[in-house]
Amino acid sequence: MDAERDIQNIALTGFMGCGKTAVGRVVARVSGFEFLDTDLFIEEHVGMSIPRIFEEHGEETFRRYEREVVTRLAERSETVIATGGGLLVDHANMDTMKQYAMVFCLWASPDSIWRRVKDQSHRPLLQTENPRQRIIDLMKERKPAYGRADMLVNTEYRSAKDVAQLILSQYRGAIGARA
């Protein structure tokens, strides 16, 4: 663990539909940490849904809001932060969040992701002619960025509870090892 890091939070990243919110809520419940979802945080502060932000202001503005959230959350402690799937693809965001959180990247195969998201309509990036191919392309493009997380966690064939327990034991081990 880098000496200059002051880790007091757990961050979950990974592709859309990989279970960040479901797992994050379990981690928060078991650890007693607060739960915070960056998409909800942005929606509440901007007063608009994510699809509307994309539609009316564009993706660039949404990414700016995400960068602002990363900075604002630095004062947090004992919080489980579920990030939007693109938030930590930005290297600077990943570096900043790593200062105050241990970052776990949840992974699921493109097929599983597709099964989980295909009946949902609230993700602007998947409103394309061929969303299945878009998932494959975006996952490939983001792989190096997700690989910069502290730990990659495979969620296939595992319940949210199992994934949450694995994350907590890793977090406690790392924080204990640092002390």
Contact residues: ligand S3P, CB under 6 A: 16, 20, 39, 50, 84-86, 123-125
Tell me which DSSP letter residue 84 carries: P
Smaller CB distance to ligand S3P: residue 82 or 102? 82
**Residue 77: both structure tokens together:** 């402690």
Confirm if 17 and 116 have CB atoms less than 8 A apart. Answer: yes
The SS3 assignment for 85 reads coil
Contacts of 151 (CB under 8 A, 6+ apart): 102, 103, 104, 105, 167, 170
Minimum separation from the CB atom of position 133 to ligand S3P (A):
15
Q: What is the crossing angle of helices 59-72 and 91-100, to 10°? A: 20
Smaller CB distance to ligand S3P: residue 124 or 131? 124
Smaller CB distance to ligand S3P: residue 148 or 174? 148
Smaller CB distance to ligand S3P: residue 84 or 149? 84
Minimum separation from the CB atom of position 90 to ligand S3P (A):
10
Strands (E), the chain: 9-14, 34-37, 79-82, 101-107, 151-154
Minimum separation from the CB atom of position 179 to ligand S3P (A):
32
Smaller CB distance to ligand S3P: residue 46 or 174? 46
Minimum separation from the CB atom of position 136 to ligand S3P (A):
14
* Residue 28, burial from CB neighbour count under 10 angstroms (0-12, 13-18, 19+): buried
Minimum separation from the CB atom of position 20 to ligand S3P (A):
6
